[in-house]
Structure 1
Amino acid sequence: MTIQMPDTRPDHSDRSGAHAEISISIATIGDAPALRALHELSLVMLAADAYSPRQIHRLFVTRDTAPPGMIAAGRMLVARRHGFVVGSAGWEPRRFDGQPGAHLRSVFVHPLLTRQGVASALVRAVETRAMERHAIRFTLAATVNAVPLYRRLGYAAVAHGNLDLGDGLSFPVVHMARRVQSAHIDAED
């Protein structure tokens, strides 16, 4: 999958086109180090108003945001621009009231590419892949700063929660959910 994105480089030295392509593909285990670095950069730069440096550090010490099992199963997608990893989104299969669903995780975008459709494209691509396995309900634990994005994508807040980071530290999140009526996502969602 390839999407056109505005070129955000300040010098615009490559004037071959007004837009740079973002490609979305299945992550490989070789992408894991770049994914983890992107995840930390993204959270440090985009969520500094919501989380302390200690909370962010402990999150990455206690959680693997690019789990090898998810990558090996083909359930982690990566966005690339000019060959560099600039975004990710993954999912885990879940069942809700006996029906297939998916829990989205590791949705991160490079700070220079926010509000340009990269996260939306990644979430929709993950939802599409999960729906190929008949998922009709999607959940996620949103960082506080990402709640507006998920609301725009049709997710509703279900509950506020905290991830236990150990050492008496927690990481506030907003649990959100979205249900689709069929195995087709409307492009207008």
Structure 2
Amino acid sequence: MTYTLRPARPTDRHVVDNLLGAVYPRLLLDDYDGVAVDAILPLIAKANPDLLDSGSYYMLFEHGDLVAVGGWTETAPGEDIPEGTAHVRHFATHPDRLKRGHAGRLMDHVRTKARARGIKRLECLSSLNARPFYSKLGFKDHGVDEAPIAPGITFPVVRMAAQP
């Protein structure tokens, strides 16, 4: 297979929006009710401009097609995190390309980059349906919590952590 991995840029917004728009409506319904999904989709099924500009949010292409996105930052949405900790952000694989190792390849890249920056711990707020993915990659489950998504909107997530 021919893979290309590169940092996302602000000009990639449309293509990342398309990928996220294909992922979340299909995959979240496995573990969340339709009302919760309808409330959160407008907020998460689009690219985060700060991530696109971060230099640590990546795009993985297979034969030129965008198949996965994800990255990390030294900040967490709405939370303070300790020094030496990074937050895994907005990982997604196109639903037609699941179970082919794309997100794992991307996570290997994230871990390498985070270690190079001196990061000692990776944390994430996983959707319920992504818990098995993170567990398979060595992330430990620290329980279900409610993540603030927007004023008055929370969403059940799994707090998970691993070494980079």
Q: What is residue 164 of structure 1 aligned with on the other side?
A: 148
- Deviations along 1:15-47, one digit per CA (max 9) or x if unpaired, are xxxxxx222111111111211221121122222
CA shift, 1:133, in A, is: 0.7
Aligned partner of 2:72 among 88, 91, 107: 91
List, as ranges, runs of 4+ consecutive aligned residues in structure 1 with deviation greater than 6 Å: none
Kindly provide the amino acid, as one letter, of the partner of residue 26 in structure 1: P
CA distance in 1, matches of 2:66, 2:10: 13
Aligned partner of 1:50 among 25, 31, 37: 31
TM-score normalized with structure 2 length: 0.85
Residue identity over aligned pairs, in percent, reads: 25
Q: What is residue 39 of structure 1 aligned with on the other side?
A: 20
CA distance in 1, matches of 2:62, 2:38: 27
CA shift, 1:164, in A, is: 3.5
Q: Check conservation: 1:108, 1:119, Cα contact below 8 A.
A: yes
| Structure with more contact order per residue of length (Cα contacts < 8 Å, sep ≥ 6) | 2
Q: Secondary structure at the match of 2:99?
A: coil
Q: What is residue 130 of structure 1 aligned with on the other side?
A: 114
Kindly provide the amino acid, as one letter, of the partner of residue 131 in structure 1: R
Q: Secondary structure at the match of 1:89?
A: strand
Unaligned runs of 5+ in 1: 5-20, 181-189
* Larger proportion of helix: 2
Q: Check conservation: 1:157, 1:177, Cα contact below 8 A.
A: yes
Q: Secondary structure at the match of 1:48?
A: helix
Unaligned runs of 5+ in 2: none
Kindly provide the amino acid, as one letter, of the partner of residue 123 in structure 1: M
Aligned partner of 2:137 among 153, 165, 175: 153
CA shift, 1:120, in A, is: 0.6
Q: Secondary structure at the match of 1:47?
A: helix
Kindly provide the amino acid, as one letter, of the partner of residue 87 in structure 1: A
TM-score normalized with structure 1 length: 0.75
CA distance in 2, matches of 1:177, 1:96: 12
How many residues get paired? Answer: 160
RMSD between aligned residues: 2.2
Change (3 A) 1:28 1:93: same
